Amino acid sequence: MHAHVTRLADIFAMLGGVILFLIVMVTTTNTGAFILDRFMGLFGQDVPGLPGYEDFVQLAISGAALMFFPYTQASRGHVAVDLFVANAPMPVKRVLDHMWLTLTAAIALFLAYWMVHGMLESRSDAAEAGVLGWPIWPFYLPGIASMVLWAVVSVSQIFGDARYA
């Protein structure tokens, strides 16, 4: 199970990466248009930028950032202070590790639960991005799925990650 969950976290991370590349392409196009506009302005020509560019970046990064969480967990990348427990006996390290993994899963599910409420509220309020006018609620979905996967990865590490076995 642990291997499958890690693979899924990897897929989420790659999808987050694809979103980052979309941001790169949109931002580069917009900046290119801005520079061209300054240049063409000398000849009385206008080159428009991408309307709602900042809205797009905000909405897109909300998905990408949260989609990285499960892979960070799968890679044990969420930073912790090693110094004081480094020389503790192995059983102590294992108990602490399992406690924190359980707590991490609980916090991830807590965040997922409240994000579902946030998404429903955003939908009932018909909240939209300022310039683009896109509805905001669908952009909660990658985050909710990522929080659930983050919890599953944490639980799978209790049983499948032999770090302190």
List of E strands, 50-159: none
Helix count (H) and strand count (E) of the chain?
5, 0
Single residue of 4, 41, 48, 85 touching other proteins by CB under 8 A: 85
Q: Name the 3-class secondary structure at 86.
A: coil
Q: How far is the CB of 148 from other proteins (least distance, A)?
A: 13
Q: How far is the CB of 44 from other proteins (least distance, A)?
A: 22
What residue type is assigned to position 80 of the chain?
Answer: A
Q: Report whether 74 contacts 108 (CB < 8 A).
A: no
Q: How far is the CB of 115 from other proteins (least distance, A)?
A: 6
Our finding on whether 51 is near other proteins (CB under 8 A) is no
Our finding on whether 91 is near other proteins (CB under 8 A) is no
The two tokens of residue 89 are: 């006996």
Residue 87, judged by CB atoms within 10 A of its CB (0-12, 13-18, 19+), counts as: exposed
Our finding on whether 151 is near other proteins (CB under 8 A) is no
Q: How far is the CB of 158 from other proteins (least distance, A)?
A: 14
Our finding on whether 36 is near other proteins (CB under 8 A) is no
The two tokens of residue 128 are: 């939209």
Our finding on whether 11 is near other proteins (CB under 8 A) is no
Q: CA–CA separation, 65 vs 54, rounded Å?
A: 16
Stretch that binds other proteins, among 40-48, 64-72, 155-163 (CB under 8 A): 64-72
Nearest to 145 by CA among 2, 12, 1: 12
What residue type is assigned to position 65 of the chain?
Answer: A
Instruction: Provide the mask over 104-123, with x wherever binding to other proteins is found by CB under 8 A and - wherever it is not.
Output: x--x--xx--xx-xx--xx-
Query: Given the rule CB under 8 A, which residues bind other proteins?
Result: 10, 13-14, 16-17, 20-21, 23-25, 27-28, 30-31, 34, 54, 57-59, 61-62, 64-69, 71-73, 75, 77-85, 93, 96-97, 100, 103-104, 107, 110-111, 114-115, 117-118, 121-122, 139-140, 143
